Amino acid sequence: MAFLTLEGVSKEFGTFTAVRDVSLTIDKGEFVSLLGPSGCGKTTTLQMIAGLVEPTEGRISLDGRDITREKPNRRGLGVVFQSYALFPHMTVAQNVAFGLEMRRVPQAERDERVRDALMLVQLSAFAGRYPRQLSGGQRQRVAIARALVIAPPVLLLDEPLSNLDAKLREEMQFELRRIQRKVGTTTIMVTHDQAEALSISDRVVVMEGGRMTQVDAPYRLYEQPSNAFISSFVGKTNLLAGTWRRNGTSSAADIGGVLLEASAPEIAAGTPVTLSIRPEKILVRDAGAGRLEGRVASRFFLGSQWLFTVETPIGTMTVSTPNLGVEPATEGSQVGLDWSPDNMRIIAGTAAAA
């Protein structure tokens, strides 16, 4: 049951096309992230849904109603801005009450709903403060309460966590998901942080150069990236460029003279291919025990895991292994790298280098 639909939406600023033919269907109650590097058109897409930017082409509909040309103040969507855009001259309670005031909600009900919203974001004690007296995380929660109190059909979040420091960002990620689960509002979040997108979304929409390039559940996006860009943008990966070889029934990729086995769809022999394998899918074994020999060039201890760069005949590979409580191979030592061929992905087409 499609709740919010974008059909062939594009936006041109003069000669520059910020968003190109985006079509997307979002279900009620879903949490969808728009993920991409800066300038990929994700924020413009969000602003078109919010009504702050008018699409050049295409149609946006909400619950069956065409809202493409509707003014932002008639759409009734909740928006949390990257800068939070709190009203600096109003208290927290006045900020949250503003949307209800615009809807002419009676005073008594207004007070109650503001109280509930502040309780939801755990800011009840701060109702009388002004925005500048709050910390970044608190301001952000005021912005969320202000957007949610009007009971919007859709909540739009523009890089909601980017102004917070790392530790707070992680906390707020889960806080955001908790609130969204509790109120069940359909939510669209714009972010450039893949970890953020993966951890809290039901689905992730990857955007590059104004286009949507993959729409998938976080797990599938991570495991089956549709191109080299996504495989390196979402998580870390080792990209290996080579040529496809067939030998009777078996097939393998030829990477600089080394043949690497991979489960293959129908690819003609001689086609250039790119293989991708994630660092955590590679196992470090003793020299001579793996599929590939290498020498540990450097080793970093990250607490829960170890990160290696290993020099191999086919280039430098990044490998991460969990910290099992014993010290692993040291820098300079010879090791063998091994993996399950199932985890060696073939990226569609010729795929340029990462």
Partner 1 sequence: MMTSRSPIPSAPWLLAGPGALFFFGLVLLPLALTVILSFQAYDHSTGIQSTFTLSHYVTVVTDGYYLEIFWRTLRIAALTTLICAAIGVPEAYILSRMRDPWRSVFLLVIIGPLLVSVVVRTFGWSMLLGSQGLVNQALQLVGFAPARILYTETAIVIALVHVMLPFMVIPVWTALQKLDPMVEAAAWTLGASHFTALRRVVMPQVTLGMLSGSLIVFGLSASAFAVPALLGGRRLKMAATLVYDEYLQELNWPLGATIAIIVLVANLCIMLAYNRMVETRARRTLG
Q: Which residues in this chain contact partner 1 in the complex, by CB under 8 A?
A: 50-52, 71-79, 81-83, 85-89, 98-99, 102-103, 129-130, 132-133, 146-147, 150
Q: How far is the CB of 101 from partner 1 (least distance, A)?
A: 9
Kindly give, in sequence order, each residue whose CB lies less than 8 Å from that of residue 175, ignoring residues fewer than 6 positions away. 141
Q: How far is the CB of 26 from partner 1 (least distance, A)?
A: 18
Residue number, 126 or 233, with CB nearest to partner 1: 126
Q: How far is the CB of 283 from partner 1 (least distance, A)?
A: 49
Q: How far is CA 257 from the centre of its chain?
A: 36
* Strand pairing category for 238-247 and 78-80: unpaired
Q: How far is the CB of 139 from partner 1 (least distance, A)?
A: 12
| Distances, alpha carbon 257 to alpha carbons 176, 181, 244, in Å | 49, 52, 11
Residue number, 87 or 300, with CB nearest to partner 1: 87
Residue number, 99 or 336, with CB nearest to partner 1: 99
C-alpha angle with apex 60: 55 to 63, nearest 5 degrees? 160
Distance CA 195, CA 172 (A): 13
Residue number, 112 or 327, with CB nearest to partner 1: 112
Distance CA 330, CA 328 (A): 6
Q: How far is the CB of 53 from partner 1 (least distance, A)?
A: 10
| Distances, alpha carbon 98 to alpha carbons 28, 105, 143, in Å | 26, 10, 12
For 3, the enclosing helix (H) or strand (E) is strand 2-13
Q: How far is the CB of 110 from partner 1 (least distance, A)?
A: 13
Residue number, 49 or 260, with CB nearest to partner 1: 49
DSSP assignment of 248-299 equals TTEEEEEETTEEEE----S--TT-EEEEEE-GGG-EEEETTSSSEEEEEEEE
Distance CA 37, CA 40 (A): 6
Q: How far is the CB of 84 from partner 1 (least distance, A)?
A: 8
Q: How far is the CB of 73 from partner 1 (least distance, A)?
A: 5
Residue number, 85 or 354, with CB nearest to partner 1: 85
Residue number, 143 or 179, with CB nearest to partner 1: 143
Distance CA 145, CA 101 (A): 15
Residue for token pair 């946006």:
60
3-state secondary structure of 350: coil
Residue number, 3 or 81, with CB nearest to partner 1: 81
The DSSP call for residue 235 is S
